[in-house]
């Protein structure tokens, strides 16, 4: 998806599309909140509950980030038309939003998972260090994958429309 799109071009496009610090903050905080709760709860439940929690993380974050990326395009439709009139491709426009948003989703997930792991231990989680680590990694992977899938789905849906 990133092929042929430079960092500087991506940053210029993201600014053109008004992908602002507020957008980044929304993505990061939502990802952090979901990951923190999941990382804490996952230590207090059995295997079936853990699978259910990871699935819930994935669906929730995918839906949220999909809506955010769709919104970026919808409110910038005129800007997109202007950029396309001077040669912007759908690939470069998609990549600009994808990479501008995804980093904050991953960072928020990692932060939230760390906090959640500590909360889980404080709440009396029974697992050892290894199982806590596995839980944290699982939550980070699930939420990062969800953010990536959500942003990508939002971008694709917008182009189809």
Partner 1 sequence: MAQLGILQRNESSAQGKYSVELKHVAKSYGDTEIYTDLHFQLLKGTFVALVGPIGSGKTTMLNMFAGLERPSSGSILVMGRDITRMSEDELGGFRASTIGLVPQVQTLIPELTVRENVELPLHFAKVDGESRQRKVDYVLEKVGIRGEAKRTVSTLSVGEKQMVSFARAMVNDPPILLLDEPTEALDPLMAEVIMGLLRGDNLTLGRTIFVTTHDRRVTELARKTLRVKKTIP
Among 12, 44, 56, 111, binds partner 1 (CB under 8 A): 12
Cα distance between residue 52 and residue 106, in whole Å: 21
15 near partner 1, judged by CB under 8 A: yes
85 counts as binding partner 1 under rule CB under 8 A: yes
The sign of the torsion formed by the CA atoms of 159, 97, 32, 75 equals: negative
- Piece of the chain touching partner 1 by CB under 8 A; list 3-11, 64-72, 100-108, 112-120: 3-11
Residue 14 CB, nearest approach to partner 1 (Å) = 11
Shortest CA distance to 117 belongs to which of 44, 54, 59, 64?
A: 44
Minimum distance from CB of 90 to partner 1 (Å)?
6
Q: Minimum distance between the CB of residue 22 and partner 1, rounded to whole angstroms?
A: 14
Total chain residues near partner 1 (CB under 8 A): 21
Q: Locate all alpha helices (DSSP H) within the chain, ordered by sequence.
A: 7-16, 21-41, 47-75, 77-85, 90-122, 129-160
- 9 belongs to the binding site for partner 1 (CB under 8 A): yes
Q: Report yes or no: 143 and 61 within 8 Å, Cβ to Cβ.
A: yes
Question: By the criterion CB under 8 A, which residues form the site for partner 1?
Answer: 4, 6, 8-9, 12, 15-16, 18, 79, 81-92
């Amino acid at each position: 998806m990133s092929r042929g799109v430079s960092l500087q071009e991506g940053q210029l496009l993201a600014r053109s599309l008004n992908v602002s610090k507020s957008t980044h903050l929304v993505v990061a905080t939502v990802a952090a909140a979901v990951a923190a709760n999941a990382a804490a709860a996952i230590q207090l439940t059995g295997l079936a509950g853990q699978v259910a929690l990871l699935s819930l993380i994935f669906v929730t974050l995918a839906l949220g980030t999909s809506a955010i990326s769709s919104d970026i395009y919808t409110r910038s439709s005129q800007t997109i038309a202007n950029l396309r009139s001077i040669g912007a491709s759908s690939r470069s426009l998609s990549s600009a939003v994808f990479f501008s948003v995804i980093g904050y989703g991953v960072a928020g997930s990692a932060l939230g998972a760390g906090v959640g792991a500590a909360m889980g231990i404080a709440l009396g989680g029974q697992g050892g260090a290894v199982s806590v680590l596995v839980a944290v990694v699982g939550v980070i992977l699930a939420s990062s994958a969800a953010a990536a899938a959500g942003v990508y789905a939002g971008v694709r849906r917008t182009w189809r429309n």
